[in-house]
A and B are shown apart, each in its own frame.
Chain A
Amino acid sequence: MAESTSGEGTRRDFLYIATGAAGVVAAGTFVAPQVAHMWASWDVQARSSVKVKYNEVEPGQQIVADWLGKPVFIRRRTAEEVKTARSVDLADLPDPVARNANLSDESAPATDEQRSFGKDGEWLIAIGVCTHLGCVPIMNKGDYHGWYCPCHGSHYDLSGRIRKGPAPENLPIPKLAFLEDGETIKIG
């Protein structure tokens, strides 16, 4: 019998710990794939960009693209709408960050200039998923005439910025590019 009086631990202690450790490693290697397979599969990850024609959209209209299973609002704003969006005082915004994936500065201020595209900033392109709990906001509704989320009453302005209600952030702007053909946007 391996008895220890020195308090250093016995061969049996060593075996217990070694066996236990091997058991933990074995269990870990079994559990890891169970977690891994639940991430987005390779084919879903590969489907990360989409091309959308925008040339037929008139001022005041919006089209909705489907990107990674989410709606993307592509809105061509009228000159008046742009003016309204640009006249907002930054201090009135609950979320002062631009949330524009195209900007290198992640903390850029949420001015309309930082969130819009095209000639005079007429294009507003944002992921149409409410930052509260994921519903799709409705166009031209709410107190700020941008979008209004019917689920829990979040109001977004003409720049897609949250103004009122439970949503914490502005509608995010995905990485995008206006292609050289003059009629296609590549999202993602």
Chain B
Amino acid sequence: MSGGHIPQEHYTPQSKAEKWLDHRLPVGGLMHHLNSFPTPKNLNWWWIFGGVLAVCLVVQIVTGIGLAMHYVAHVDHAFASVEHIMRDVIGGWWLRYVHANGASFFFIAVYLHIFRGLYYGSYKAPREILWIVGVLIYLLMMATAFMGYVLPWGQMSFWGAQVITGLFSAIPGVGKTIQAWLLGGPAVDQAALNRFFSLHYLLPFAIAGLVAVHIWALHHVGNNNPSGVSVRNTSVDSAKKDTVPFSPYYTVKDAFGIVIFLIIFAVFVFYMPNYLGHPDNYIEANSRVTPEHIVPEWYFLPFYAILRSIDNKLLGVLAMFASIGILAVLPWLDTSRVRSGAYRPSFRWFFWIFVVACIGLGYVGSKDPAIRLIEQSEEFKFRDPAKADEKLKEITTADKSAEAAIQISYHKEEDGESYMEYSVKHVHMAFTMKNLGQLLMIYYFAYFLLILPILGVRERARPRPDSIDADFQAKMAKKRKAAAPAAQPAE
């Protein structure tokens, strides 16, 4: 048997019609393969997100095609056509809110799917291609979501487009030329809007194509599982000990997960449809006024935080793209031969810190980078401005890079007399939101470039089960014990 291929019973067409069809197009065999695909029997709930994501993609494509029937990709009409969808198109508000929140839920599912893969080592041999195709899908999802967000032509749409295309201008030499080519003009305008619409319509079908490749690769190597141990694939019978047919076992389990996911999704669509959006995007695009606080959609925030962590334009952009690109080479950075994090005691710690760092980066990305989280400073108060000036000079001559400034405030004495107070603030140390972002960014990259390569060599993994079946039986025994604890007297 080659690679990770899992042996499966062959399909033999029964009826005359099936035989006739099978001879011409083996669609029956394909259906049989998909339905009875041997799937590890110990998968936990983290494995439902593949199915959830398939549903997300279909929902986005179907509602998107509907929206495209009413949307007008023109700078003068785009914003109004979205309001037309909301007010005039029958059920248009439903289409739009499902599509907009659908994008967010697509990302929620994809992040859980990715973290599942990171924890259980789903990127390791022989699943490198499966993983890389997944990274490509994620990249296309980001491009699609970004361009879709531009289409309503609100303030956030417009300035988001300005900033994201501006990233390309960081490329030395040809950057400005590339940006002009991408936009089809000197600024974000009709040409850009029109092509974003075209590509926003196209890319989901490219994603669908890559999903087919993703599933193809999955069906070649088989699912990973919480134990990380491979299916015993020497024969159909040995594989059967570790697996169950995908249908009905996992179709039903996935369907249950999808229902729960859709219930939460429906709460957002019907009760808080704008919770994940920005009010500024209900203001029509204005090329002369940038919103005061411009932030991307929540699913881009960690990358936005990385971009802002570095003061150099080119390096910031490179770091941001590297933070995504690094996922593609992850299979060769993690040197551990143990797939599942469940048997790697140290890895688990680093992994959960990594999860916290990612969420932290998202938080930092949503905040003003100048916010001071910790500040150590001295204040000198004067009523005489000349003395305050003197103090300031004293501080800055002692240390030229010192951060100091005079603040003027107005006070009243108890007897009603008022006076001005000049306070000189000398900041010795300040830890800003930006610094927090830098710290988290360092951990993000260290996780991939230092921790995983070194840990794989140094860590002593716990003993793994002999087979998926052994893992399954142990888990079941535990469950049974937990279900009837009082029945067993203590020994």
Indicate if A34 sits at the interface (CB-CB under 8 A).
yes
Contact with B along A81-102 (1 / 0, CB 8 A): 0000000000000000000000
Measured CA separation A44–B92 after assembly (Å): 14
Q: How many residues of A contact B (CB 8 A)?
A: 13
Contact B95 A33 (CB under 8 A): yes
Indicate if A180 sits at the interface (CB-CB under 8 A).
no
Contact B89 A34 (CB under 8 A): no
Contact A37 B89 (CB under 8 A): yes
* CB-based nearest B residue for A23: B255
Contact A34 B92 (CB under 8 A): no
Q: Which of A19, A23, A30, A41 contacts B92 (CB 8 A)?
A: A41
Indicate if A14 sits at the interface (CB-CB under 8 A).
no
Shortest CB-to-CB span from A46 to chain B, Å, is 9
Knowing A33-B95, A36-B90, A36-B91, say if A41 contacts B84 (CB, 8 Å).
yes
Main DSSP-derived SS at the B contact region: helix
Give the most central of A23, A33, A42: most B CB within 10 Å: A33
Indicate if A43 sits at the interface (CB-CB under 8 A).
yes
Contact A33 B87 (CB under 8 A): no
Shortest CB-to-CB span from B276 to chain A, Å, is 21
Contact B88 A33 (CB under 8 A): no
Indicate if A1 sits at the interface (CB-CB under 8 A).
no
Q: Which of A23, A36, A43 contacts B88 (CB 8 A)?
A: A43
Contact B88 A42 (CB under 8 A): yes
Indicate if A38 sits at the interface (CB-CB under 8 A).
yes
Contact A37 B90 (CB under 8 A): yes
* CB-based nearest A residue for B66: A37
* CB-based nearest B residue for A46: B88
* CB-based nearest B residue for A41: B88
Contact with B along A12-23 (1 / 0, CB 8 A): 000000010001
- B252 cross-chain contacts in A, Cβ below 8 A: 19
Q: Which of A19, A23, A30, A41 contacts B90 (CB 8 A)?
A: A41
- Sample of 19 A–B contacts (CB below 8 Å): A19-B255, A33-B66, A33-B91, A33-B94, A34-B62, A34-B63, A36-B90, A37-B70, A37-B90, A37-B91, A37-B92, A37-B95, A38-B66, A39-B90, A41-B92, A42-B89, A42-B90, A43-B84, A43-B88
- Having A37-B70, A41-B90, A43-B84, one finds 18 other A-B pairs with CB under 8 Å, namely A23-B255, A33-B94, A34-B62, A34-B63, A37-B66, A37-B69, A37-B90, A37-B92, A39-B90, A41-B70, A41-B88, A41-B92, A42-B88, A42-B89, A42-B90, A43-B87, A43-B88, A44-B88
